[in-house]
Structure 1
Amino acid sequence: MKNSSSEIRSKFINYFTAKGHTYVDSSPILPPNDDKTLLFTNAGMVQFKDVFLGLKDSKLKSAVTSQKCIRAGGKHNDLDNVGFTNRHHTFFEMLGNFSFGDYFKEEAIKYAWDFLTLELNIPKDKLWITVHDTDLEAKNIWINEIGINENRLSIIGTSDNFWSMGDVGPCGPCTEIFYDYGDKYKGMPPGKGDEGERYVEIWNLVFMQFNRLSKDEIIELPKPSVDTGMGLERICAVMQNEHSNYSTDLFAPMIDFIKNSVDKKYISEISSMKVIADHIRSISFLITEDVRPSNEGHGYVLRRIIRRAIRHSQKINLDTKKLLEIIPIFIDTLVDQYKEVNKYDYIKKILSLEIDKFSETLEVGLEILDKNIKKIISNGSKKEISGDLLFLLYDTYGFPIDLTSTIANEKKFKVDIDSFDNLMEKQKINSKKSSKFETQNFIDIKTKHVTDFTGYSDYKNNIEVLDIYIEGENSNTINFGESACIIINPCPFYAESGGQIGDSGVIASKNGEFEVIDTKKLGAANLLYGKQTKGFLKINDKANAEINKEKRDCIMLNHSATHLLHAALIKNIGNSVQQKGSLVSDTKLRFDFSCEKPIKRKVLNLIEEEVNNNIKKNITADTKLMGKEEAISKGAMALFGEKYDDEVRVLSFSDVSIELCGGTHVKSTGDIGVFKILSESSVSSGVRRIEAITGMSANNYLTKRDNLVTDVCQILNVHDEELQNKVHAILDDNKKLKKENLNLLKNFNKLKILEVISNKNLKDKFNVQVIAQEYFDGKVLKNVLEDIKSSEENLILIIIQKNKSKVEIYTLVTKDCFNFITAKEIINIINNNIGSTGGGRDDLAQAGLEYKDNIENLTDIIKNNISEVILNKGK
């Protein structure tokens, strides 16, 4: 195909590499673990964020990328628009070229113009330009250097054409390039009104030339940079003479398959087809990055996308299992660029499980909705589904809002969309997952200092205080009692990363002492947080810095044991094991990893034994610095979600474990002493967690457990080897006694009820009994009622019992009364009169309500109510 997406992507990359740019692979869709500001990678510049923020020096002068992006959560969320426009997507590719203080506006504009008009041969009169109203330089370049007609250049204000990373930090004006689809489409030129379907933005060039210090203060950056982005899907539409992105070779094969799989009457339902095609792309990429459907974070977004795809499949009567057949069609469109997406079997497995689970969810949601609709009808209330119920179904049960609306319309109910929208907005405001590009409170500090970390070999150093920050602001002095962050050099304190917690310790100068509580990374510097416990500390002070050696030693035991655990998991479970997270502290280690099922005790024992065997071998730790690609080619494991420099530190324990790791470790495995697994549990769908201890903590734990076993053996008067059988015997006896006790309770309760109903209270030939009794276990009482039901005739029985602040009501009606009244009818009558909720069968029904008053009062109300009903029915 001429101008295929693959060809356009290659042309873009080749054009810029020929201009001296370094090609950089797309970073993962999931941002690095240390970036808490983004839910997903949503732009090409994300992987260069620290360079733009000045937190990291880069050897790159300029770069070109094709970046995988997702916009389906947080601030940048296109999910609800997908399918109803020609250009919104949850997954898209962003083509970008970047300059890090190398070239600026003139070159960036010329590169973009030449690529579009010379490489892609787009007619110049089809392109429209916008510039920021203060950016006269860019305007002059476009007019005087490029020769753009002034009639095709719009001046736009800050709301659209000025970009910033946050309230403070690098920022600058933009210039945008639009494509004009011609007068057969409605729309106003950019900056003149609504662009409609005629003018489409295809490329945005951001000139980061300023540093915003505050709302009112902005200064020039010493090295201005360039960040550009062009959506591959949009430029493909232009080059393939299509007005919709969904008609390009990136989507058309999937949509054609869908059209061929549904009845002809659904062919016009193109919106649902676009939703499905788009969502399969994001579903596949998220699953390949080991995201699993869940109720929080990345997994929650994936679940919403999957369920939206399922819902739109149902709308066009497409068998949901057909979604699985679309996956390989999608893979074929992108596998040449992204080899990692070639995991059909794995994607199919996860998606299939979620499809089945959603079928169950639909059943639950329909039941809840149906119950509430019936309640509204029986109460004679306004026929409207409240915003609270809409939100509950949508947020808790994943029940699609459009499905709720459809069912409501069928029942001639309205839906309170405004209240639902308000609740959704509140959720967004309260969401902990913000995608705003800014630094967090603890690290809301900018510095260009570079720390010389000495902590691999030294526990203490003579240091100089380089910077002091109190509440994020620069300060010259920390006085007694004040909390602050400081930067020192050299620095023996390890900064939290790779799961390992930061060091603590003391910095002592002639004027006082500063207690270091924690250490974090800040660009190329280590930031020490703590409190002045004696005297004061000043910038440029010379001092002695010493870490808490005992704490660090325990951390090293746990960190090295984590590597051995990782290796043992792979050996005993398989290569499918991938690290999903870890915590290495001085008290324990915690390791999260991909695994479908709980690990059996037998396998856990083998894993523990494997680690301890490698500890006994006293394997020497070996560390080397080498290039990242070289390290990976030699078998070193690079952990997903971690950021690595071009030069990496490789830690090896012989051939047992080889990982990229910047953490602190033991000299040899024998130093660990003992490794003991404390627990194995589920973190989320497809992710398991092991917690363990080492060294003296493990020794103390084993000693305590041994003492406990000894004490229990003494209490039960058995030897160690007899303990298990003895406990089983006790449990068996206990089970038998419980069963006997249950039977006694059942018989006792049955006799009491039979005694009452033997004194017949006849109402129109029926024996009507209302009994208030002391609380009996609900299961026991139901068994009693089942027995009574089969042995009695013409019986209408109501039992009321109180369990703390809740009242339980049971109704029994024998079969020979059904033509007159049923148990379910009686419960509904009681519900309508006293506000209880419940239901059941014709012969047995149950209800309940919160009730703090005297149960006798409630019994009298029910007696009078039922007597009146039976009297009226008898007439």
Structure 2
Amino acid sequence: MSYSPQFLSGSEIRQKFLNFYAERQHKIMPSASLVPEDPTVLLTIAGMLQFKPIFLGQRPREVNRATTSQKCIRTNDIENVGRTARHHTFFEMLGNFSFGDYFKEQAIAWGWEISTEVFGLPPERLIVSVFEEDDEAFAIWRDQIGIPPHRIQRMGEEDNFWKSGPTGPCGPCSEIYYDFHPEKGDDNIDLEDDSRFIEFYNLVFMQYNRDADGNLTPLQNQNIDTGMGLERMAQILQCVPNNYETDLIFPIIKTAADLAGIDYAKSDDKTKVSLKVIGDHLRAVVHLIADGVTASNVGRGYILRRLIRRVVRHGRLIGITGEFTTKVAETAIGLSEDVYPNTRERERVIKGELQREESRFLETLERGEKLLAELLAKQPDQISGQDAFVLYDTYGFPLELTQEIAEENGLTVDVDGFEAEMSAQRKRSQAAHETIDLTVQGSLDKLAEQIHPTTFLGYDFPDSEATVEAVLIAGKSVTEAVAGSEVQIVLDQTPFYGESGGQIGDRGYLTTSDVIVRVDDVKKDSDIFIHFGRVERGTLTAGITVNARIDRACRRRAQANHTATHLLQAALKLIVDPGISQAGSLVAFDRLRFDFNCPRALTTEELQQVENQVNSWIAEAHPATVTQMALEEAKNKGAIAMFGEKYAAVVRVVDYPGVSMELCGGTHVTNTAEIGLFKIVSETGIAAGIRRIEAVAGQSVLDYLNVRDAVVKELGDRLKAKPEELPERFTNLQAELKTTQKQLEAVKAELAIAQSDQLLSTAERVGDLPILVAELPGVDGESLKTAAERLQQKLGESAVVLGSVSDGKVSLVAAFSPVVVKDKKLQAGKFIGAIAKLCGGGGGGRPNLAQAGGRDPSKLPEALSTAKSQLIDALK
């Protein structure tokens, strides 16, 4: 590329964007978790998601302007990852937001300023698009910014009318494109030509709400929601041909390439696609696991599992046959930890999940190979598209590998049939993932016109009579549900608390003389409470009267944990920093979680002081005062707003005078003494500037301490030590173990050296260079490496390859002298990596010294024989 913009790293781009808008009175907000609070959305796929309640007018704005760098996951077009220049599953969206403050004119002016003056993009390389009916935006670009009219493209609703889904906030948008090839001129500009243009900044003028019938009504406020792709801006400023070769992703790709023993720059297109998939997907996997997702066959767990399996599959395609994902993940963690410290803090969890999933999937791949062998044994004329797709979809078997094996057997694969199956799956995936549905349940939209808001009685009554207004099964309205049915139920009134403000919904039962329904959870959609449960006995019918009764023990635990979060926030403000504010919370029956803004980890002393302060307030028995008052009056009195809560003009204020006063719709103890005890379990970082405290309160403290007391007693019995003696006893044991390990390693090394010295006489000469290829039985990998280095040094300019089987695993080492590396063009890493594949493994390392491993000891003699033959051929 001929242009030379100012080079900026990905980190510099992110910070310059945030700083630019912070200087213009935008509050820098942390990235939300990839697991959204909104129960209707599987993963966070847009920067606006955390602000959705504000855009909808369901929650008052805490600030007028905000800016974020939001991590996002999208998997609706996963097959394009690696094949195009800028498709990703994981990406970061830089955004600036206005909640009823500034609108089109200011958003456009700032969008142009940051693009041309902060990032230094030449104005003559920029082209903008507007919604075809948006004359106002067109005029601003033309008259105020000075863009020539022919460089302002009017586009239709599909391209330039942003919508969050079939319903919800929406509005026209204006996009800024960068032109990589301005020499082609301004005639017949086609913004769909992604080889020439890249859209890097989208300015959404969010001013409408679309209902279920498609009608547009103006929102309460005119809002701004923008998104600048961090990876796209990095591609532009770093002068690379695609997003993958930026410093945000390429180090991950380089690590995978090194493990495969290949050079990315010299690789063919198929290999590059696989490397890009590995680089992209491992970023996504690291952040998903760091945010609490675990692999499974449903929901977000399935997405995680699918991404991991694609990584392993593409690793296999480029020649990596052993387990490798944890090594590549280390690079991904290193790239992200400064901005998202939870990736490093959860490193053990991330690598453990990867290792488990990779190991299982390698076994699955082997089963796929067996299935293909069975298909070939039937001697078909062709591998059908359906069979090839089953191999791909069920066993993760690459089409390319199926084709290769089929070709070796004189067969072809019905690729058209395979693509038809793949297309059908892709359509199903897109239908499930391509939009954000901003309604809790689509079927409730229709019911909302027929049923009234649920009256909540739970502040005062633990049980009540109620009429069943609606029964749903799998989201569809039904007239009755028989025993065994999983149901969602709407009542006219309820004592059950519906999940909100971080507090989970109540549990309990709905009963009549003939019917029992177990309620496992309750959620709220605006003012309608949805009771999720199972019909245990009888037939539940819409319209009948039931007795609704909460589980009082669970409610008491939730109340204790919820009030404890209020006291915890007050203690953090008092002891750590008055500027601390809540960034998220979870109030469960057995625990609580509190997220808060803080640029550093809390010290052990601070945590102890916070815990002591909360327990002091509990012991002081502060009574609760719960009142209703106007929102502005509550704020003027100093009430703190709860994160994620929706507020009306009149709000509920929970006040423990002299300790804590918050706006809160949750359930609480009437006196702090009812909490009993409070115990902090952990404190970690979850994002840049965001910390998390996990704790227990009330009965849960006793449960927590009982478990730990049992562990301490068992350890004391085993070590015959008192509890207070355990730390010293463990320190001594660790020291003894470390000493013993060093002694063992030294003995192993001496034994390996002694064995290896006997091999010197077996060295052969190829021309002027001695070579030595041999097996040292029972020697571990590290000792084998020491022996190889020693032999190579004793032989001088030479090549040494050693192999060993220890604990059922194959170890291989290559040690090459400078002449072998430089003059003979042999690199130890590539050489030994290829040899290890014969033993079902892989590896690599430096040009002069490298290690590898394998899983099939029976193949070691063949591998060493091949190594010797290849050395002789290369050195002749």
Could you say which TM-score interval applies, normalised by the shorter chain? 0.5 to 0.7
Q: Deviations over 1:293-323 (max 9, x none)?
A: xxxxxxxxxxxx344444433449xxxxxxx
Matched, 1:866 2:871: yes
Q: Deviations over 1:13-61 (max 9, x none)?
A: xxxxxxxxxxxx999999994474575576999658768xxxx8x99xx
Q: Deviations over 1:854-874 (max 9, x none)?
A: 31222222223333444xx2x
Residue 779 of structure 1: aligned partner: 782
1:454 to 437, 452, 457: 457
Structure 1 residues without counterparts, runs of 5 or longer: 1-24, 60-64, 83-87, 99-111, 123-153, 178-184, 189-195, 213-217, 234-280, 284-304, 317-356, 399-415
The more displaced of 770-779 and 513-522 is: 770-779
1:725 to 725, 728, 753: 728
2-structure distance, mates of 1:43, 1:676: 33
1-structure distance, mates of 2:597, 2:436: 26
Offset at 1:455? 0.8
Kindly indicate whether the alpha-carbon contact (under 8 Å) linking 2:169 and 2:207 is maintained by their aligned counterparts in 1.
no
**SS at 1:664 equivalent:** coil
1-structure distance, mates of 2:747, 2:173: 83
1-structure distance, mates of 2:750, 2:796: 20
2-structure distance, mates of 1:442, 1:610: 47
Residue 691 of structure 1: aligned partner: 694
1:657 to 653, 657, 660: 660
The more displaced of 591-600 and 158-167 is: 158-167
Change (3 A) 1:631 1:642: same
1-structure distance, mates of 2:573, 2:862: 66
- The amino acid that maps onto 1:560 is T
Matched, 1:389 2:275: yes
2-structure distance, mates of 1:27, 1:509: 53
Q: Deviations over 1:573-593 (max 9, x none)?
A: 324533232221112212233
Residue 237 of structure 2: aligned partner: 313
2-structure distance, mates of 1:740, 1:171: 68
Matched, 1:609 2:634: no
Residue 435 of structure 1: aligned partner: 436
Kindly indicate whether the alpha-carbon contact (under 8 Å) linking 1:42 and 1:70 is maintained by their aligned counterparts in 2.
no
Structure 2 residues without counterparts, runs of 5 or longer: 1-25, 78-83, 88-92, 104-132, 144-153, 175-185, 190-196, 198-202, 285-399, 401-418
Residue 797 of structure 1: aligned partner: 800
Q: Deviations over 1:435-466 (max 9, x none)?
A: 24444479676324122211112111122333
1-structure distance, mates of 2:599, 2:657: 30
Residue 321 of structure 2: aligned partner: none
- The amino acid that maps onto 2:784 is L
**SS at 2:640 equivalent:** coil
2-structure distance, mates of 1:857, 1:75: 43
**SS at 1:609 equivalent:** helix
- The amino acid that maps onto 1:754 is D
Residue 745 of structure 1: aligned partner: 748
The correspondence of residues 17-96 of structure 1 with structure 2, limited to 5 A, is 33-34=37-38, 36-37=40-41, 39-40=45-46, 47=53, 91=96
2-structure distance, mates of 1:595, 1:800: 52
Residue 527 of structure 2: aligned partner: 524
Offset at 1:808? 3.5
Matched, 1:556 2:550: no
Residue 574 of structure 2: aligned partner: 571
Change (3 A) 1:487 1:773: same
Residue 466 of structure 2: aligned partner: 463
**SS at 1:386 equivalent:** helix
Kindly indicate whether the alpha-carbon contact (under 8 Å) linking 2:771 and 2:799 is maintained by their aligned counterparts in 1.
yes
Kindly indicate whether the alpha-carbon contact (under 8 Å) linking 2:472 and 2:489 is maintained by their aligned counterparts in 1.
yes
Residue 673 of structure 2: aligned partner: 670
The correspondence of residues 232-251 of structure 1 with structure 2, limited to 5 A, is none
- The amino acid that maps onto 2:696 is I
1-structure distance, mates of 2:207, 2:728: 75
- The amino acid that maps onto 2:851 is Q
Q: Deviations over 1:789-847 (max 9, x none)?
A: 5555455321013467864321224568778758x446645656775765555643334
Change (3 A) 1:553 1:766: same
- The amino acid that maps onto 2:659 is V
Matched, 1:496 2:499: yes
2-structure distance, mates of 1:853, 1:696: 58
Offset at 1:160? 9.8
- The amino acid that maps onto 1:733 is E
**SS at 1:517 equivalent:** strand
Kindly indicate whether the alpha-carbon contact (under 8 Å) linking 2:798 and 2:820 is maintained by their aligned counterparts in 1.
yes
Q: Deviations over 1:405-458 (max 9, x none)?
A: xxxxxxxxxxx9xx9x99x99998498684244444796763241222111121
Change (3 A) 1:373 1:574: same
Kindly indicate whether the alpha-carbon contact (under 8 Å) linking 2:802 and 2:812 is maintained by their aligned counterparts in 1.
yes
2:593 to 590, 593, 602: 590
- The amino acid that maps onto 2:519 is V
- The amino acid that maps onto 1:771 is A
Q: Deviations over 1:203-233 (max 9, x none)?
A: 999797x864xxxxx9xx9xx9545998989
- The amino acid that maps onto 2:447 is K
- The amino acid that maps onto 1:514 is V
2-structure distance, mates of 1:45, 1:812: 58
Offset at 1:544? 2.1
Offset at 1:612? 1.6
1-structure distance, mates of 2:589, 2:862: 61
Change (3 A) 1:469 1:96: farther
Residue 705 of structure 1: aligned partner: 708
Kindly indicate whether the alpha-carbon contact (under 8 Å) linking 1:554 and 1:587 is maintained by their aligned counterparts in 2.
yes
Change (3 A) 1:313 1:866: closer
Change (3 A) 1:803 1:641: farther
2-structure distance, mates of 1:755, 1:430: 68
1-structure distance, mates of 2:707, 2:631: 45
1:845 to 839, 850, 864: 850
Q: Deviations over 1:623-681 (max 9, x none)?
A: 12122222222222213443222221111222222221111111111111122222333
Residue 484 of structure 1: aligned partner: 487
Change (3 A) 1:827 1:559: closer
The more displaced of 813-822 and 582-591 is: 813-822
1-structure distance, mates of 2:539, 2:428: 45
**SS at 2:758 equivalent:** helix
2-structure distance, mates of 1:433, 1:573: 43
Q: Deviations over 1:750-807 (max 9, x none)?
A: 1111122245545556543211233533333333444445555455321013467864
